[in-house]
Structure 1
Amino acid sequence: MNIPTLENKRVKLTPLNLENYTHLTEIGQQENLVQYSPSKVETPEDLKQYVQTALDWQINKTAMPFIIFDKKANTYAGTSRYMNINWHNSVLEIGATWIGREFQGTGLNMNIKFLMLQYAFETLKFDKVEFRVDERNIPSRKAVEKIGGILEGVLRKNTLMLDGFRRNTCCYGILKEEWDGIKNDVFAEYS
C-alpha cells in the first residue's frame, strides 16, 4: 500500500518506517507522554516494536503510519496514523497520535488533523473518520471536539492498559457530509 506524503506550510507527514523512527526516541522518553495509550514507546526497543506493529498493520492494509516533521521548529515532533481502516465500509480512524510536549498547544496538531482529514475525505473518499480517546484524557477529547468530532458513545472498560486498568473509550466521528462545513469553519486558515 502506497502511503502519501501530506504537507502544508507548517508540517510534513511522511511514512513512518524502521529507517526513520529513531528520530522519535527522545520524544518517546518524555514522562507520561502516552499515559492514556495501551502502547509502550519509552525505550528504543519499545518504540521499535510499536513501529513494527504499525508496519504489520500497514501490510494488512489496515493502517498508514506517519512520522511528523514540524517545519516551524525544523525537527521531528511525533507520530500519527490512519488505523482500523475498513475499506469496505469506507471508515477509518485517526489515532496513535503523540507529539512531544514542546509541540503541544502550538497549532501543530491542528495542521496534522487538517491534512489527515482532508486526505481521508477528499482523496480516499471515505465516508467517516473516527477518533477513539481514553475517557480520562480531557485535553485530547477537547481537541477532537474542537475539530468537529461528535461524541457517538462510550465503550465501557474495552481497553486493557499497561498498568492493568480497564479504560472506557470515547468514540467520536466526523461524517463526509460534515467535512465541508468543518473545513470552512474550523480549518479555514489551514486550507
Structure 2
Amino acid sequence: MKDITLENERVKLSLLDLSNYKHLIAIANEKDLIFYSPSDISTPEKLKDYVAIAVDGFYQQTTIPFLIYDKIKQAHAGSTRYGLINWKNKVLHIGWTWIGHDFQGTDLNKHMKFLMLQYAFESMKFEKVEFRIDERNIKSRKAVEKIGATLEGILRKDTLMLDGFRRSTCCYGILKEEWEYLKATVFIDIH
C-alpha cells in the first residue's frame, strides 16, 4: 500500500507510525480519553505498543492508521484508522478514533470522517464502511448517527474490556449507494 495523506482546510490525516507517534503522548495521557476502548495507551510504552500493532496491520494490509493534525489549532489532536479491511468484500471499519478533550465538540471529527468516507468510497472503491461502538458510548453513537450511519445491530457482550467488563458493541454502517446523498446533505458545508 502507498503512503496516504487525507487533507482539507480543517484537518490533515497522515500515516501514523513509530517515527511520529510521540506527538500523541501528551494527549494519550488525558483522563478517560479511551474509556470505552479495550486498548491501553496510558503510558508511552503502551502507546508505542498500540501504534506498533496498527503499523503491523498496515503492512498486513488490514489497517491504515492516521495521525490527526488540527489545522485551526495547529496541533496534533489524536489518532484514527481504517481497520478490519476486507479487500475481497470491499468492506472496512473506521474506528480506533480518539482525539484530545480540547478538540472534542469542534467540527474536527466531522471533517475527519468526511475525508475518510470520501477516500473509502471514491478512491478505494469500497462498498461499505462500518463503525463499531461500545453500547454505553452515547456520545460516539450520536456522532456516527449524525453523519448518516445506520444502526444495523448489537453484538451482545462480544468484547472483553481491560477491567473485565464484557461490553456489547453497536454495529453501524454506511453503504456506497448512500454516500452521494450524505455528501450532499450531511457534509454539504465541507466539500
TM-score by length of 1: 0.99
Counterpart residue number, 1:127: 127
Question: Any conservation in 2 of the 1:120–1:129 contact (CA below 8 Å)?
Answer: yes
Q: Specify every segment of 5 or more residues in structure 2 that has no aligned partner in the other structure, as ranges.
A: none
- CA offset at residue 2 of structure 1? 1.3
**Quick one: percent identity of the two aligned structures?**
62
The amino acid across from 1:170 in the alignment is: C
State the alpha-carbon separation in 2 of the partners of residues 92 and 61 from structure 1: 11
2:109 aligns with 109
Distance 1:74 1:185 in 2: 28
CA deviations on 1:125-180 (whole Å, 9 max, x unpaired) are 00000000000000000000000000000000100000000000000000000000
Query: Deviations 1:2-57 (Å, cap 9, x if unpaired)?
Result: 13100000000000000100000000000110000000011000100000000111
CA contact (8 A) 1:3 1:64 kept: no
Q: Which residue of 1 aligns with 2:37?
A: 37
Match of 1:159 in 2: 159
Deviations for 1:55-87, whole angstroms, at most 9, x for unmatched residues? Answer: 111111000000000000001000000000000
Residue segments in structure 1 that go unaligned for 5+ positions in a row? none
Alignment partners' CA distance in 2, 1:155 and 1:25: 32
Could you tell me how far apart the structure 2 residues matched to 1:71 and 1:91 are? 30
Cα distance in 1 for residues equivalent to 2:190 and 2:122 = 15
- The one-letter code of the counterpart of 1:21 is Y
Contact conserved, 1:133 with 1:169, CA < 8 A, in 2? yes
Distance in 2 between the 1:177 and 1:24 partners?
Answer: 35
Provide the rounded CA distance (Å) in 1 between the counterparts of 2:132 and 2:145. Answer: 12
Hey, what's the Cα distance between the residues in 1 that align with 2:84 and 2:95? 9
- 1:75 aligns with 75
- Superposition TM-score, scaled by structure 2 size: 0.99
How far apart, CA to CA, are the structure 2 residues paired with 1:60 and 1:165? Answer: 30
Work out the CA distance in 1 between the residues paired with 2:64 and 2:38. 19
